[in-house]
Structure 1
Amino acid sequence: MGQKRRGPPDGHDYYDLSSKHVSACKRIRVGPRVTLCDFSDEILLKILAFLHPRQLLCIERVSQRLRRLAADTEIWRLKYFDQWIFARLPGLRARPRRSQDASVRPHIGIRLPGQAAVMTSSLIDWKRMYQVRRNWDQGLARLQEIKVAPPASPPVLAAVCRGLIFTADGRHGLRVWSKQDGRKQLLDQTALDEKVTPLSLAADASKGKYTVAVGYADRRIDLYWFRGLTGFLKLAEFTTPTGSGVVAVEIMWPYVLDITREAHVHLHRVRPTPREDPGKPSVMSTTLQPIAPVNIAAISLRRTAATVIASITYAFQHFNGGLCIGLHEMRVSRVVNEASGHPSSTPSHPSSTPSGHPSSTPSHPSSTPSGHPSSTPSDHPSSTLDTSPDVQTAEWNDRRDWRVTSRETSSSPLLSPFAPSPLITSLPSSLSYSHPYLLACLPDNTMMAYLVTSNDDKLEMSAGRRLWGHTSAISRAAVTHKGRAVSVSARGNDVRVWELEDELLLPNRAKTSTAVTPINTTATMSTRAKGQGLGLTLQELRHTLALTQHWVGFDDEQIVVMCERDQSQFMACYDFM
C-alpha cells in the first residue's frame, strides 16, 4: 500500500512558497489528450509556414497527412520569394509579412521565364523550383556522360531547349534526348542528308511546340517539328539567297535568322499554309545586311510587339587600340501610310520572295563604321511605325511595307591588367549575346560582361566588368536573357555558373561564381581512393583532364557540355533536379 501524502503543518491545503513542503492539488484531466495532428489543416499550414525548408523536409517523413501539408504550394512559394526575391528588394524586405504576401497573391497570373503563357501560382511546382534554384546556387548536380559519336566522326552539334537536348551530325542524323527514370535517354531520331555536313543547329519552343532548324554547308536550312508522340516531322526546306555555308542559325517562330561564311545575314519568315489548302508552308527570305567578315561572331534574334530585331556580336581589332567587341543590330518593322492608315501598296525593303526563288536585288541598308551608332531611315518619309496588335501575324507579301534600320556600337579597347603589354590583341574564344547581356571569353582566363541598352532611341554598351574564377583557358560560355551564364574550361571539368545581374548591379559582391560539383562522381572517386589506393585516383584525374570541351548550353534545370576524349565525342549532362 502506498504512502499517504502528508499535508501541511497547519492543516490548511494551500501552497506555501517559503516552506520546503509544498502541497499541490491533483489536476483532473478532462477529455482526451490533444496532439498536433488534432488541429485543422488551416492551422497546421500557418504553423508549418514558419519552419525552415530543411525542417519541412523532415516533417514530411512523419505521416502522409504532414507530407501533404509540408509540400503545400503556398508554403514553398513564400520560401522561394523570401530566399531569392524579397532578399534582393530592400523595399519589400522592410514591409510586414502580410503586405509581402499580398504582393505575390496566388490568384495573380505569373509569367515564368521561358514559358509561352501566363500561369497561375497554383499550377507552378514551387517546391521543385526551390530545389532547382538552391542546387544552382550551390553548384550541386548529377553528372551523366553519354557517348554520342564514335571515333572518326564529324563534329556533333547540340541545342538545349526546355528540358530536351537536340543533337545533329551527318552519320546519326537528328536526335532528341530527354530525362526518363533519372537518366538521359534517346527519344527519337531522324536521318539527315549524309552528303552535306550540318554546320549549325538551333531549337525554339516559344509557341508551345518544339521547332528545330539545321543549317548545312550548301546554304540549305531544314525546319523540323518535334512532337512527343509522332516524333520528328519535316516542316520546310529552303536555301539562303546569298553566301555559302550557314555557320550559325537562330530561330524564334516564325522567324529564322542565319549568317553565312561570308558574313551575309538573312532573315526568313515561315508562312503556314491555309487550312483549305494543306501542305508544306512557304518561306519568305530577305538579305538584311552583309557585314565585314569576322573570325568570331554570335547572332541573336528577338521580337517586340511590332519589331523583329536581329543582332550580330563580333570582335575586331581597333586601329592602334587593341581588341574591341562590336554589336550590329538590324530592326525590321512594318510601316503604314499616314494618309490611308493601311500598308503601302509599293513594297519596300526587305524584298521578299518565296522559298527557293531568292530575290535578285536584295536590299542592303546602309551602316556606319563600328563604334558609331547609326540609323537608316525608311525610304518612305510619310510612313510611321504601326504598333497594332495584328503586326505579330502580318505576312511578308506584296501588300505589306517593311522598314529596316541598322545601327552599331562597340566597346572600348580591352586591357589585360597584369600583362606587360596592357592591350589585348588575341581574339576571344567565345561570344554570347542574349539581350541585354553580352559575354566575351578572353585569352587571359577571364571574361568580360556588358549590359546592352537597346530601344527605339539608342543602342549602347555599358562599361565592361571583368569576371574572375577560371584558372585555365576558357573554351565556351553561354548567357540567357535572365542574366544566368555558364562557362567551361578548355580541358577538364571546370564548369562555373554566374549570375550576371548581380555581377553588373552589385560590383562589391564577395561571391563571383559557383563551381559545379558532380555529387554522384565525388563519392565514387573517394570510395575508390580509400579502397584501392592513390593510383586509381590519379588514373581518374588523367581521364578527366583528357576531356576537350568545345560547346556548352543550358536551360533552367540542366547544363549540357559537348566534349571529346580519345577521338570519341561525349555529351556531359549536369542535372540540377
Structure 2
Amino acid sequence: MVKRRASDTLEDERHKKRLHESEPDWVSRLSHELTLRVLSFLPVPDLIICQSVSRHFHLLAGDSQLWKALYYNRFVRPRASRIPGIHESGIPAESLWYSSKLSKWLDEDNLVRRGKETNWKRQYKTRHNWTKGTCGVSEVPVSPEASVPPTLLHMHDGIIFMADQLHGLRAWSSQSGKGILATIPFPNHDSSPSALTVDSASASASACTITLAVGFQDGSFTLYDLQLHQRRFVTRYSHEPSSNGLISAAAISFPYLATMTASQLLSFYKFAIKDDETIESGTVGPPRLLQSLHSRTVWPPLTLSIRPQPDTVLVSIAYSLPTYLSGWTVGIQEMRLTPEGKLLESRLASAIDQNYRPLTFNNSPIPTPPPQNIPPFGHFNTSEANQIHSKPTSLSYSHPYLLVSHPDNTLTLYLVSSTTETLKISPGNRLWGHTSSVSGAHVGGRGKAVSVSTRGDELRVWELEGGFASAAARRRLAAGELSVQLRPERPTMASIPPSIDDPAPPIKSRNIGLGAALQNSGLDETSMTRGWVGFDDDKVVVLKEKYCGNQALVIYDFT
C-alpha cells in the first residue's frame, strides 16, 4: 500500500475548501425584508439559535418587530381570549391575532406607545422569567438596626420609597448602579411616620416628578415631590398635628388626598393649586377638607384608594370585618363625590352571604387543603369559603382585585364589582400553594400578585386576571397552575431556548443560584419579614429583618 504524502493531504484540503467557497450562499443573498419574513415563522428556540450563526443573523433574528409579534402572541392574545363572553359575542377568532393597533393590546398599549424605546426581546424575556419564577437575587442594606415603628416602604416603576424616623424620607432606585436618588429629613423628629403613599398617576416612566405623601403619628402629614432630574425631594405642603390621632393609612391622587386615623376617622382633602407658587417654588396652598366620615366597623388591616373619574371621584376603604362567633370576612365602603367634594352616595358591601348563619358553622376552624384533582369550591360551600377563621395578616386592593393573606398558609381572592347601581364583593376563592404562614401579599391592577411567607424564604407569583368566572380559570385553580414559586438562580446555557438569553459561552467558574447569592449577600435562614412586599414589571422587593435586628431589601430581578 502506497503511503500518502503530507503534501497530498494538504492539497486535498485546499481543493475541498475551494469547492466549499464556490457553493452559492443563497440565504445571505436574500434581502433583509425576505429574511425577516422567513424568521417570523420560527419558534423562539430556533430564533435564538439563528442569532449565534453570524453577526448578520444576530441582528436580524433580534429584530424588535419579530419579538413584538412573539410577545403579543404569547402574552397578550391568551389574555384577550379569556375575556368573559368573548367567545359568545360572535367576534371571529382571527381578529385576536397580532396587530399593531393599540386597541388590540388591552392595557399593555403603553409598551406600543413608547415606539422604538421598547426593547421587545428584553420585554419578552422578562415576562417569560415571570411565568417561570426565574430571577436573580441581591440584597441592599437599609438600616443597621430595626426601626420602631417599622420602616415604611412603597415601590413603583423601579423606585423604592422608604420612610423612618431616623433616616427621614429616602428614594432608592432598584436599577443596578443607581443607588440612592434623594433623601430628606422629616420636619418633626419627635413623631414617627405611620403611613406612606405614592401618586401612581404621576409615577410613570416619562414623568420627571413623582408626588407622594407621608402621614405621622401625631396626625400631621406632609406632601413631597421627588424631582428625578435634580435627584432631590421638595416639600410642597406640611399639615399641622391633629388631635384625631395617628394616621394609619393614606391614598393620594393629586390634587386629592385621603387619610384614615387609628380612631377610624376618614378625611378627604383637595389641594388648592396656585400657578405662580407651583412654578416658582413647587409649593401648594392649604388643602380644603371636603368630607370627614367616622366608622365603627373598620378593622385593620385596611387600605385606601382614590379613583378619579370624569365627573366623580371614588374613595374606597377595603378592610377586615369580624363576624359573630365565626371568624373574619372582608368589607368595602365606597363613597362617590363630586370634584368639589359633595357626597353623592356612600355604599357598603361585604363578602358574607345574606343567607349565612354563623351559629350553624360546625366544621373545623382550619380547613384542610383539597386534593389536587378536586376543585376547592367543590370542597367548601359558599358560606364557608367566604369565611376567614383567623384575623388576616395583610390586605391589598387594586380594583377590581381584593387579595387577603392568612396565617393558615393560604390567600383568598375577591372580585369587587362597582357600578352606578350596585357595589358587591364576589364569593372568595381560596388560593393554595404556600407551605407556611403568609405574612404579606400585594396585587396589581392586571391581577398579577406576589405573596411572601413570614420567614421570607418562600415567595410566589400569581396570575389572577379575570378571577374564576370561566371554566378554564377554575381548572387552572384546581390544577395549581395559578402561581409559581420564585427560584432565584440564573439559568445555564443548557436551557437557552426557554431562558431567552443572548447567545454567549457558558460561564462555569461563576457561582450562581440562591445558595451563592445568600453566601455573597449575607442572607440567612433566621431572617423574617414584616409583611411588606412590592413589585413592578421587572422586580420584586421584600423587606427582611435578620435575627440581629438589621434590615435589608432583598431584590428579585427578572431581567
Shorter-chain TM range is 0.7 to 0.9
Q: Does structure 1 retain, via aligned residues, the 8 Å contact 2:406–2:439?
A: no
The amino acid that maps onto 1:237 is S
The equivalent residue for 1:497 is 461
- For each residue in 1:489-535, what CA deviation from the matched residue of structure 2 results, as whole angstroms up to 9, or x when unmatched? 00142011111126524111121311011115998487979xxxxxx
The amino acid that maps onto 2:295 is I
Which of 183, 191, 195 aligns to 1:196? It is 191
The equivalent residue for 2:343 is 403
1:126 and 2:120 matched: yes
Moved more, 271-280 or 294-303: 271-280
Distance 1:528 1:465 in 2: 35
1:296 and 2:290 matched: no
Matches within 5 A, 1:502-521: 504-505=468-469, 506-509=473-476, 510=479, 511-519=481-489
The equivalent residue for 1:576 is 558
The amino acid that maps onto 2:152 is L
- Structure 2 residue ranges without an equivalent (≥5): 1-18, 368-383, 493-509
Distance 1:197 1:430 in 2: 22
- The root-mean-square deviation of aligned C-alpha atoms, in Å, is 3.5
- For each residue in 1:43-79, what CA deviation from the matched residue of structure 2 results, as whole angstroms up to 9, or x when unmatched? 0111111122233233233344323322222211211
2:299 counterpart SS class:
coil
Shift of 1:541: 12
Q: Does structure 2 retain, via aligned residues, the 8 Å contact 1:203–1:212?
A: yes
The equivalent residue for 2:34 is 43
Q: How many residues align?
A: 473
Q: Does structure 2 retain, via aligned residues, the 8 Å contact 1:148–1:569?
A: yes
Alignment CA distance shift 1:111-1:268 (3 Å): farther
The equivalent residue for 2:133 is 139
Alignment CA distance shift 1:472-1:229 (3 Å): same
Shift of 1:213: 1.1
Alignment CA distance shift 1:107-1:123 (3 Å): farther
Shift of 1:478: 0.8
Alignment CA distance shift 1:576-1:323 (3 Å): same
The equivalent residue for 2:284 is 281
Moved more, 188-197 or 279-288: 279-288
Q: Does structure 2 retain, via aligned residues, the 8 Å contact 1:485–1:497?
A: yes
Matches within 5 A, 1:292-371: 292=296, 293-334=298-339
The equivalent residue for 1:368 is none
Shift of 1:433: 0.8
The amino acid that maps onto 1:85 is V
Distance 1:127 1:152 in 2: 41
> What's the TM-score once normalised by structure 1's chain length?
0.74
Distance 2:513 2:121 in 1: 31
The amino acid that maps onto 1:267 is F
Q: Does structure 1 retain, via aligned residues, the 8 Å contact 2:403–2:442?
A: yes
Distance 1:266 1:143 in 2: 40
Distance 1:256 1:424 in 2: 31
Alignment CA distance shift 1:113-1:210 (3 Å): farther
User: Aligned residues: percent identity?
Assistant: 31
Distance 1:444 1:329 in 2: 29
Distance 1:271 1:310 in 2: 19
Distance 2:491 2:455 in 1: 18
- For each residue in 1:249-277, what CA deviation from the matched residue of structure 2 results, as whole angstroms up to 9, or x when unmatched? 11222222211111111122223212388
1:563 and 2:544 matched: yes
1:491 counterpart SS class:
coil
Distance 1:266 1:144 in 2: 40
The amino acid that maps onto 2:551 is Q
2:276 counterpart SS class:
coil
1:445 counterpart SS class:
coil
Which of 75, 79, 84 aligns to 2:75? It is 84
Q: Does structure 2 retain, via aligned residues, the 8 Å contact 1:428–1:441?
A: yes
2:38 counterpart SS class:
helix
The equivalent residue for 2:438 is 474
Shift of 1:286: 3.0
> What's the TM-score once normalised by structure 2's chain length?
0.76
Moved more, 183-192 or 105-114: 105-114
1:194 counterpart SS class:
coil
Q: Does structure 2 retain, via aligned residues, the 8 Å contact 1:503–1:512?
A: no
- For each residue in 1:188-222, what CA deviation from the matched residue of structure 2 results, as whole angstroms up to 9, or x when unmatched? 22222322101111122413331121111111111
Shift of 1:95: 6.4
The amino acid that maps onto 1:426 is S
Shift of 1:319: 2.6
2:525 counterpart SS class:
helix
Moved more, 208-217 or 312-321: 312-321
- For each residue in 1:300-334, what CA deviation from the matched residue of structure 2 results, as whole angstroms up to 9, or x when unmatched? 22222222111111112223443221111111125
Q: Does structure 1 retain, via aligned residues, the 8 Å contact 2:366–2:408?
A: no
Q: Does structure 2 retain, via aligned residues, the 8 Å contact 1:143–1:572?
A: yes
Distance 1:89 1:416 in 2: 42
Alignment CA distance shift 1:319-1:486 (3 Å): same
Q: Does structure 1 retain, via aligned residues, the 8 Å contact 2:313–2:337?
A: yes
- For each residue in 1:397-424, what CA deviation from the matched residue of structure 2 results, as whole angstroms up to 9, or x when unmatched? xxxx733311000012798975479775
1:156 and 2:151 matched: yes
The amino acid that maps onto 1:515 is Q
Alignment CA distance shift 1:242-1:458 (3 Å): farther
Q: Does structure 2 retain, via aligned residues, the 8 Å contact 1:443–1:473?
A: yes
The amino acid that maps onto 1:229 is H
- For each residue in 1:119-159, what CA deviation from the matched residue of structure 2 results, as whole angstroms up to 9, or x when unmatched? 16554332222111111101111111111011253321111
1:129 counterpart SS class:
helix
Distance 2:54 2:515 in 1: 38
Distance 1:220 1:528 in 2: 45
Which of 527, 530, 534 aligns to 1:546? It is 527
Shift of 1:81: 1.6
Distance 2:39 2:467 in 1: 35
Q: Does structure 1 retain, via aligned residues, the 8 Å contact 2:407–2:439?
A: no
The amino acid that maps onto 2:463 is E
Distance 2:524 2:411 in 1: 27
Shift of 1:481: 1.4
Q: Does structure 2 retain, via aligned residues, the 8 Å contact 1:111–1:119?
A: no
- Structure 1 residue ranges without an equivalent (≥5): 1-27, 335-395, 530-535
Alignment CA distance shift 1:521-1:151 (3 Å): farther
1:508 counterpart SS class:
helix
Q: Does structure 2 retain, via aligned residues, the 8 Å contact 1:166–1:174?
A: yes
Distance 1:416 1:478 in 2: 32
2:275 counterpart SS class:
coil
Distance 1:416 1:144 in 2: 47
Shift of 1:567: 0.7
The equivalent residue for 1:387 is none
1:570 counterpart SS class:
strand
Alignment CA distance shift 1:48-1:114 (3 Å): closer
The equivalent residue for 1:187 is 181
2:69 counterpart SS class:
helix
Distance 1:261 1:222 in 2: 18
Alignment CA distance shift 1:85-1:108 (3 Å): closer
The equivalent residue for 2:226 is 226
Distance 1:299 1:528 in 2: 39
Q: Does structure 2 retain, via aligned residues, the 8 Å contact 1:109–1:118?
A: no
Distance 1:272 1:124 in 2: 35
Distance 1:66 1:409 in 2: 58
The amino acid that maps onto 1:136 is W
Shift of 1:229: 2.4
Distance 1:169 1:405 in 2: 37
Larger radius of gyration between Structure 1 and Structure 2: 1
Distance 1:263 1:118 in 2: 43
Shift of 1:453: 0.3
2:153 counterpart SS class:
strand
